[in-house]
Amino acid sequence: MGERWTRGQRGFLSRPTVKEIYEYRNHVDNNMIVFLINCSEEQLKEYSPIVEIGLNHEQQHQELILTDIKHVLSINPLHPVYSKKIEEYETEINPIKWIEFIGGIVETGNDGKEFCYDNETPKHKTYIQPFAIADKLVTNGEYMEFIESGGYSETTLWLSDGWAVVESEKWKAPLYWEKKNGEWFYFTLNGFRKVNPDEPVCHISYYEADAFATWKGARLPTEAEWELAADNLKYEGNLVDDENFHPVPIQNKKLSIKQMYGDVWEWTGSAYLPYPGFKTLPGALGEYNGKFMSGQMVLRGGSCATSKSHIRKTYRNFFPPQARWQFMGIRLAKNI
């Protein structure tokens, strides 16, 4: 209400009590249900798409709340535990296998027959050169090798903007990592514990992902390559429904390409830009995606904080290249 409040000063505002928040939520839910029940057919056609976008947007908020909770708790020196669920997963991590694709002219994007955001449309033709994509995500153990080899001090590995951030922020490891007595530990929503080398590396910026890929003599996949590789895979993996709230080692070893959905959002080498023929939605909905198409990179695949009902192969997440607090990781690709 009133004039727009500066985002950086929101902490100065007073907050309602938990009881008042729940009362407000119940008020909104109950009135929305009454409204929808009493809508005419014409009104339903008009308002249903807006309600559907609102529900999907709320799922995004639920994911962001988890990552915000993790960030807030990580600052507390007592290392509070959000969830005590810690399962011991059987692990047997093999070296990367490269899955090859001949490329060619393929269709990228969503045809709009299922729910999708406007930035996933229109479906369009893309030409892809032959490429190979890693059959698994980069693990903590593999990333430790990058750290110990001096990856954070080798300027030739980094994009210019990335190196400037490394120097200014004094990055030495992924977000939430801390070295104690020669061993790496990290803060998780399950508490502070020793880094598991078999889990997918997490809380990595685009700059770090790109530098690691360069160090390995590879690159990040484009979003069109990622979508082609995910074409026939089921929407299953370590998602928020499993309540791990953290990446886990490979579970389904039978898949030719593993961990495409869940665990971590995968950085691509694609800038977040409109697809050919994209048109911004009218009114306030037009600000939802289109206004952010500058200075951001695309991520694909969902994470351990993403709902299973919220992910699809055409889903385009996007963040600035220096962002690390979301559950973000790395899958490699290369030319063939």
Average pLDDT over residues 73-89: 85
Residue 231 pLDDT class (50, 70, 90 cuts): very high
DSSP of 224-275: HHHHHHTTT--S-SB-GGG---S------TTSSS---SBSSEEEEEEE--PP
Report whether pLDDT(248) > 80. Answer: yes
| Amino acid 86: pLDDT | 67
108 SS3 class: strand
CATH of the domain at 320: 3.90.1580.10
Average pLDDT over residues 275-294: 84
Residue 45 lies in a domain: no
Residue 155 lies in a domain: yes
Residue 325 lies in a domain: yes
Report whether pLDDT(229) > 80. Answer: yes
| Amino acid 211: pLDDT | 98
Residue 250 lies in a domain: yes
Residue 15 lies in a domain: no
- pTM, two decimal places: 0.92
The domain total for the chain is 1
> Shortest CA distance to 213 belongs to which of 133, 108, 282?
133
| Amino acid 90: pLDDT | 65
Residue 110 lies in a domain: yes
* Residues 176-199: tens digit of each pLDDT: 999 999 999 999 999 999 999 999
Residue 106 lies in a domain: yes
- 8 Å CB contact between 211 and 149: no
Report whether pLDDT(212) > 70. Answer: yes
Quote the domain boundaries for residue 253.
Answer: 98-335
Residue 109 pLDDT class (50, 70, 90 cuts): very high
| Amino acid 220: pLDDT | 98
Which of the residue ranges 48-57, 247-256, 279-288, 324-333 would you say has the lowest mean pLDDT? Answer: 279-288
CA 206/CA 208 separation, integer angstroms? 5
Residue 322 lies in a domain: yes
* Residues 144-177: tens digit of each pLDDT: 999 999 999 999 999 999 999 999 999 999 999 9
Mean residue pLDDT of the chain comes to 93
